[in-house]
Chain A
Amino acid sequence: MAKVLMKGNEAIGEAAIRAGCKNYFAYPITPQSEVAEYLAKRMPEVDGVFLQGESEVAVGYMIFGAAGAGERVMTTSSSPGISLMSEAISYIAAAQVPAVFVNIMRGGPGLGGILPSQGDYFQATKGGGHGDYRLLVFAPDGVQEAVEMTMKAFTLAEKYRGPVMILGDGLIGQMMEPVEFPDDLKTEPSNKDAWATNGMSTRKSDKRNLVRSLFLDPTELNNNNLALKAKYEQMKKEEVLYEGYNTDTDYSVLIASYGTMSRVCKTAIDMMKEEGIEVGLLRPKTLFPFPEEAIFTAATKESCKAVISIEMSMGQMVEDVERCVKGQRKVDFYGECGGDIPTPERIIEIIKGLL
């Protein structure tokens, strides 16, 4: 298939359709409103459902309802909106229904700003909503990956019967890049008749289905949480994705970085290489499950003297990097989160300071 030039937000919308998602509910918020605008036009063309909800709170439950009925469904939002949807995400995780959430992050806390940020790492990977649940979180570094990950998100949401998030900074949504769409996803959720409220007559069953998150009996609640935990452990075994860059050299510094920030780091690495300085990059493509072993292995390479997490935040992923390095190397941090993306020159300056 030929490449097309598309804005990230629009490409994410198109990816959903090609993944067989015919249902989209959303509330406008900068910098991701183009997804809604694109799908408002596109969904009717494929006989799909587009609805602008009255708030992100309501949209979260429109998603929950549609997912509970066994239909493929997605919403997109940005940081403050995801805070409001986090209530529903917790319920969706507990009730074990598949749904895809896209967060095109802007700066926070509070209203923050509308420029790119990676300030929602904690929210995405450590909770957001209440209770013991995890989100499977993809972190694309550009429009091509945003498309591929969005399509894969539906498969994994259905495999694990739970919420999956695409976490991209504002630039991922706003920039235009050439993109090639993978083959359309043609599969259907294989076992939905066992759990979806899709109507007893639809599934030709005399057994009703119940989608719920209330378990008043302590044993029952514990068992539900154990079932969720088992899924998260399986994700850790089967779904970890990462990329190493310049890691086949005897690098003296290892950078951990993801999303747009990692691309700036790659440029800095190429520039330093010309000066004879080797720096490696470990880029998590899934933030949960986190590439724990890969980080440890890359950080403890003999040549590697220092590790640094570079983020468009005040230091969030760095806590996971530190955890994975297990005290074997010093872990530094550099980040900016006003909306300006650190330049390669600034990163080179920071790295040289570590040498």
Chain B
Amino acid sequence: MGKTFSKPEVMSDNMTHYCPGCTHGIVHRLVAEAIDDLGIRERTVGIAPVGCAVLAYNYFNCDFQEAAHGRAPAMATGIKRVRPDLIVFTYQGDGDLASIGMGEIIHAANRGEKFTSIFINNAIYGMTGGQMAPTTMPGQRATTAPTGRDTDQTGMPIRMANLLKELVTPGYVTRQAVLNPKQINRTKKAIKKAFEYQVEGKCFSFVEVISTCPTNWGLTPLDSLKWAQDTLLPYYELGDYKVPE
């Protein structure tokens, strides 16, 4: 019997530093599978964010650059403009992309930069210890919102996919989740499609992935999946928001 399962070539052998039950590992794997499937590892450059995935380059065996907080789309722009033959992707969390890096992502998307952004939305700051993110749900507790997010003071959670959809520039914008195997399979397809659009030189591609943070949510991994399903998905609706013609 032949080999039925193996690690993607672009994944390294390193143990990840992610917490038990965190979904970063799943999304890393899906990105790696897309890179392997398309045979683009040797011309791919990843951009690591600041946040839990700051060390993402330890888990991928391809060229990597590490950006400052929120600046990954600007850095990706720099690389892609001077080397359009390279495949460039950013991997960013919600503090990084939707808060401090809002300007960079909007403008990169609006210029139609031909790179791919993977956006992990788990409604909280992970690395710094559970502070409120722009994506934190109303009433959701965070270390900087100890009684729960007060939307009178902080506004409503930002829906990045919805926001980017409104840009007139063509692009691929989708929101997926990794809370169950069916969603994971859909996310896998979306991520692969996002990279395919880049390989074709077609458009900017953006995959928002609803994820979990058991540690900072104060929930077990299983309860986290359920909470995300029940609380996040009704507000962050899944699906393709924009598809290029």
Contacts and interface: CB of A to CB of B under 8 A. Distances in A.
Indicate, yes or no, whether A interacts with B.
Answer: yes
A53 B74 contact: yes
Contact of A61 (B62, B78, B81, B86): B78
A61 B82 contact: no
A148 interface: no
B77 A208 contact: no
Contact of B78 (A22, A63, A201, A209): A63
A266 B74 CA distance: 44
A23 B43 contact: no
B166 interface: no
B223 interface: no
Interface residues of A, number: 40
Contacts of A211: 64-66
Contact of B75 (A61, A71, A87): A61
A55 B61 CA distance: 32
Contacts of A197: 45, 63-65, 79
Nearest to B12: A208
B186 interface: no
B43 A202 contact: yes
B66 A25 contact: no
A210 B41 contact: no
A49 B61 contact: no
A69 B64 contact: no
A199 B75 contact: no
Contacts of A213: 66
B57 A212 contact: yes
A198 B57 CA distance: 15
B103 A199 contact: no
A61 B67 contact: yes
B66 A61 contact: no
Contacts of B242: none
Contact of A69 (B71, B74, B86): B86
Contacts of B55: 214
B57 A61 contact: no
A57 to B, nearest CB: 7
Interface residues of B, number: 33
B184 interface: no
Contacts of B79: 65-66, 68-69, 197
B77 to A, nearest CB: 5
A140 B41 CA distance: 45
A87 B81 contact: no
A45 interface: no
A295 B58 CA distance: 49
Contacts of B210: none
B82 to A, nearest CB: 4
Given A51-B81, A73-B78, A58 B103 contact: yes
Contact of A200 (B63, B65, B66, B78): B63
A133 interface: no
A59 interface: yes
B176 to A, nearest CB: 27
Interface string A204-231: 0000111111100000000000000000
Nearest to A71: B82
B107 interface: yes
Interface in B59-103: 61-68, 71, 74-79, 81-83, 85-86, 103
B145 interface: no
Given A54-B103, A197-B79, A210 B42 contact: no
Contacts of A201: 42-43
14 contacts: A22-B82, A25-B81, A49-B81, A54-B104, A58-B74, A61-B71, A65-B47, A65-B76, A197-B79, A199-B44, A199-B85, A199-B86, A201-B42, A212-B66
Which 10 A-B pairs give the minimum distances between C-beta atoms?
Answer: A65-B78, A61-B74, A62-B78, A65-B75, A201-B42, A197-B63, A54-B107, A212-B66, A58-B74, A66-B78
